[in-house]
Structure 1
C-alpha cells in the first residue's frame, strides 16, 4: 500500500517517528519528500519543488497525508512568521483541487493546525518580537476572552489594561493579521472537505488553553463545522505533532474497513477528569476525540476490546518530567496505584489483547516509576506501543496510531518502542535538564542554541542515554541490547533529539517475524 506523506515539518517527531510506526506493518510503503525540500526551522521549504514532486508521485499512491503547513507556508514554524498574500493561498487551493481531479483514486487526509499562542517570552519558534512581548500577547488575549465569556475580577481588569498598554500596536497588528490569514486557510480546507476533495481533516490546537487566541479561533472553526455538518469528517482537539501518525492510522483503518475497539485503563482515579498541561480539556475528552480521529470506538470492558490502552495519568497534579527526581508531587503516590495498573496490563497481555501505553503522567517526558515497573514485571516487551513525549495529545495520538498499525510484536515494533524509551523517558525526563544545567553552562551554551558545539554535546547525550539504559534498566538491556547509538540535534537545541541505533535481541527472546 503506497501512501504519500507530507509532514508538518522536518523534526523527527513528524518524520522519523511516523516512518518508524509505518515500519511496524509490512503492508505499508510510506513515501516521503527528500530532506533538502523540507524546511529548516524558520527557513521555509521549497514549496514549488515539493508540489512538482507530489504531482509526480501521486499517480502510484492510494493515499495522501497532506499538510497545508508544509505545502502553503513551508512548514509549521514558517506558518507563524510568514507574510503571504491571498493570491498565494488561492493558488494553493487550486493546486490541491487539481491534484484530486488528476488522481481520483487518491484518498486525501489533511491537517489544519490552529496557530498556537505560547504563554512565555521566546522567539525560538515565533516572530522576533515574541522574545519581548510573548507572555503579554498571550495573557492579554486570555484575559480579553475571559472577560467576554466569564467576566474578570478588578485585579484582572487592571492587569488587562496594563498588558494592553505594554504591547506596541504594530506588534498586535502583525500577529493578528497572520492569525486571520491562517484561519482563512483552515476554513478553505474545511470547504474542500465539504466538497469531497479532502476525505478527512484533523484540526489540532497546538499548545491550547481555555481562553485566548486559540480558543477564539477554535470557536470560529467549530461554527463552520457545525453549520456544514462536518462533525464526522473534521475533528478539532488538542495536539499537533502527532497528527501525521493519527492520519496514517485513520487511512489504514478506513482502507481495511476496520474500526478498532479501544478500552482505556487509567492509572489513577482522577486521571480522566484532570486537565493536562498545555491543553484545554480533561484527559478523557481528548481521548474521545483521538479515538474518533483514527475511526476507533471506545468500549467499556477489556473483554470486548481489540486494543487495551494503558493510560498513565497524574494522581492529582501534573508536573514536568524532570521534577520527578527532586520535587515530585505527593499525589503521584497517594492518588495513584501503579501495582494495580501493571497487573491489569499483564492480564490484558495474557488475554491476547494488543496492549499499548500512553505515558502521560508528566509533560515532556516519561514516568520513571512506570518504566521501572514495566521492565521489572516483564511487561515492556509485550507492548505493541509505548510513547511518553512532549504533551499528552502527542503521546496519546502516536501510541493509538501504532496500536492500530503494528501487525505483530516484531523486531520493528520492539525497536520503535525502544526508541521511545531512550528518547521519551531517558533523554527527555532523566538526562536533558541535568545536561542543560551542568554541561551547557560550562560550554557557554543555552537550551535553545548549541552554537557550534552540537556534535560535542550529542556525544555526551549518546553516552548518557546508553549509560542509563545499561545501568538502570539492566534486565531489559540484557534482553535487547542497544548498539551504535548516535544522537543529533536537528534544530541545534536541547528540546528534541534524533536517534539512530541498532538492536540485538537475545537469542530465545520471542519475536514475531
Structure 2
C-alpha cells in the first residue's frame, strides 16, 4: 500500500510544479513569419491555458525584404526535443519558401520547396503519436507592396482578377513578360505544394491541414486553384481533416484553438449573432466568400460546433459589421450589454465592411470601453480583414473557455485570468487605438502620400514611435480603469514598427494586479 501511495505522489509531482499548478504543456510553432499576429499573438494566447509556445529565433524568420533562412530553420527544428512537445503547428510557407512574402516570388522551384517540406515526414515518422497541424497558403492576387514594385503591382493584381479573355489580354500587354512569368511560376509552384500537402494528409503525415486563401476577390486565378484542391479533398474523403477557407495571418491561432480543444476533449458549441443579417450574406473586402461561410468554416477549423438560434450554446459570438449604420450599432451595443447581464459567455468581432480603416470602429469600440464590457468578454478582435478579426477572437474565446472549464473541474488549476485579460486589453489597444487613432495621426504627420505600406526612414520611425506612445499610454490606462476597476496596472509599454511600415505594430506591456487578491472572471460587472 505504501509503495502505491508513493507512486501516486511521484506521478502527481511530475505533473505539477512547486506552486501546485500544472506543469506547462509545450507546443512547437513554425510561424508564417515574425509579424506580431503570426508570432506574438499565438504565444500570448498559449499563456491563457498555461501552454508554452516554442518558436524559432526571430533572426532566422526573415522580414519584409529578406526570406527566412530555411536551412537554419530546418537545423533548428531537428535540434528540438520533439518528443517533449504535445503537438506541432507548422506553416508550410515558412519552411518551403522562407515566409509569406517569399512565397509570392519565384526564388525556388517546386522540387526544392517539397524537399524542404520532407521535414514534416521526418518529424511524423520519429514521433507518430504527436499531432501535426499544417497551414499552407493559397497565393493572393496581388504581389507584396515592398516599395520596389509599385509600377506594376496594381496592374498585375487587376490582370490576375480579370476573367474576360479580351480584357485579360489587353491588360497583359501592359505588363513586362518577366513579371507575369515570375508571378505564374510562383502560383503554379505553390499550387503543387498545396496538392502535396493534401496527399500527405491522406497518408497520415499531417493530422489537420488548413489551405488558407490569402487576400483575394470572388473572381481570379485563385478560383480554379481552389476548385481543384476542393475536388482533391473530396476524392480522398478528407473533409474532416482539410479546411479550405479565407484568411491567412490568423490560422496558427485557429489551429492552436483546435489543438487545445482536442487535448481537453472539448467541442464548444457556438451561436452566432450578426448585427446585420444582410451583411452576413455579403463578401467582405479582400475575401472571396460570404461572411457567414467564413464564420462557419472557422468554428469548425478551431474545433467547435455551430448551433442554431434555439439552442443553449457554450459561447455566443457577436459579429458586428454595422459601423456605418447608426441604428444597428446602437441596437447591437444594447444587445451585447443585455447578453452579458444574462450571463452569456461572449466573443465579439468588429469587422470593417469597407476595408478603409481595418481597425476597431470608433463608436462601437468606445462603447465597449466606457460600458466596462471588456472584462466580461471571452474573446475580442478588430484588425485588418474579416478573416483576421474572426480568426483571432474565436480562438481566444475557445482557449478561455477551455481554461474556465478546467478550473471548474480541477481545483489545482490556477484561477489567475491575467493572461486572458492581457490579450483582451492588447486587442483593444492594437486593434482600435493603434489601427484607428495612431495610424490617422501618422498620416497627418507624414502627409497625404503616406500609406500603411510606406517604408519609413529611421527618422520617421523614431517620430512614429513617439506619436504612438503618446496616444497609446493614456488610452491603455483608460481601458484598464473603465473595465477592471483599477485592479490592474500596465507597465513597461513598448512600441515598434518591426517591418518599418505602419501596416503592423509590435505593442507590448506588462500587466500586474494592483491588489494582492486573485482576480475572478465573474467579478467585474457591467455598470
Q: Specify the TM-score bucket, using the shorter chain as the normaliser.
A: 0.7 to 0.9
Of 108, 115, 125, 2:132 maps to 108
Of 381, 399, 417, 2:424 maps to 417
Q: Which residue of 2 aligns with 1:60?
A: 84
Superposition map of 1:437-452 within 5 A: 438-441=444-447, 447-452=453-458
Q: Distance in 2 between matches of 1:267 and 1:471?
A: 27
What are structure 2's unaligned runs of at least 5 residues? 1-24, 405-415, 522-527
**CA pair 239-90 structure 1, distance change in 2 beyond 3 A:** closer
**CA pair 510-430 structure 1, distance change in 2 beyond 3 A:** farther
Q: Distance in 2 between matches of 1:212 and 1:32?
A: 35
**CA pair 353-29 structure 1, distance change in 2 beyond 3 A:** farther
Q: Which residue of 2 aligns with 1:380?
A: 374
Q: Which residue of 1 aligns with 2:508?
A: 500
1:4 partnered with 2:6: no
Superposition map of 1:203-214 within 5 A: 203-214=211-222
Q: Distance in 1 between matches of 2:449 and 2:221?
A: 38
8 Å contact kept, 2:45–2:423: yes
8 Å contact kept, 1:238–1:279: yes
Of 186, 192, 196, 2:200 maps to 192
Superposition map of 1:66-215 within 5 A: 66-118=90-142, 123-124=145-146, 128=148, 130-144=149-163, 147=164, 157=166, 159-215=167-223
Q: Which residue of 2 aligns with 1:39?
A: 62
**Cα RMSD (Å):** 2.6
Q: Which residue of 1 aligns with 2:235?
A: 227
Q: Deviations over 1:405-447 (max 9, x none)?
A: 12248111111111111110011012202312x2224999985
8 Å contact kept, 1:470–1:477: no
Q: Which residue of 2 aligns with 1:287?
A: 295
8 Å contact kept, 1:411–1:512: no
1:48 partnered with 2:71: yes
Q: Which residue of 1 aligns with 2:281?
A: 273
- Other structure's SS at 1:384 match: strand
Number of residues of Structure 1 aligned to a counterpart in Structure 2: 478
- Other structure's SS at 2:229 match: helix
Q: CA deviation at 1:346?
A: 3.4
8 Å contact kept, 2:92–2:117: no
Q: Which residue of 2 aligns with 1:326?
A: none
Of 37, 42, 60, 1:18 maps to 42
Q: CA deviation at 1:385?
A: 1.5
Which one is further off, 254-263 or 285-294?
254-263
Q: Give the TM-score taking structure 2 as reference length.
A: 0.85
Q: Distance in 2 between matches of 1:99 and 1:172?
A: 37
Q: Which residue of 1 aligns with 2:468?
A: 461
Q: Which residue of 1 aligns with 2:413?
A: none
Q: Which residue of 2 aligns with 1:367?
A: 361
Q: Deviations over 1:101-159 (max 9, x none)?
A: 011121000001001112xx86418xx5x422222222223222xx37xxxxxxxx4x4
Q: CA deviation at 1:477?
A: 8.0
What are structure 1's unaligned runs of at least 5 residues? 149-156, 316-328
Q: Deviations over 1:281-307 (max 9, x none)?
A: 221111111011012111123752111
**CA pair 472-420 structure 1, distance change in 2 beyond 3 A:** closer
8 Å contact kept, 2:369–2:479: no
8 Å contact kept, 1:455–1:488: no
Q: Deviations over 1:438-457 (max 9, x none)?
A: 22249999852111122332
Q: Distance in 2 between matches of 1:389 and 1:486?
A: 19
1:358 partnered with 2:358: no
- Other structure's SS at 1:77 match: helix
Q: CA deviation at 1:76?
A: 1.0
Which one is further off, 394-403 or 477-486?
477-486
8 Å contact kept, 1:384–1:402: yes
**CA pair 82-163 structure 1, distance change in 2 beyond 3 A:** closer
Q: Distance in 1 between matches of 2:346 and 2:458?
A: 43
Q: Distance in 1 between matches of 2:249 and 2:450?
A: 30
Q: Distance in 1 between matches of 2:113 and 2:475?
A: 48
Q: Which residue of 2 aligns with 1:154?
A: none
Q: Distance in 1 between matches of 2:144 and 2:134?
A: 29
Q: Which residue of 1 aligns with 2:438?
A: 431
Q: Deviations over 1:328-360 (max 9, x none)?
A: x4xx224x1433x23433344344443111111
Q: Deviations over 1:299-327 (max 9, x none)?
A: 12375211111111136xxxxxxxxxxxx
Superposition map of 1:289-328 within 5 A: 289-301=297-309, 304-314=312-322
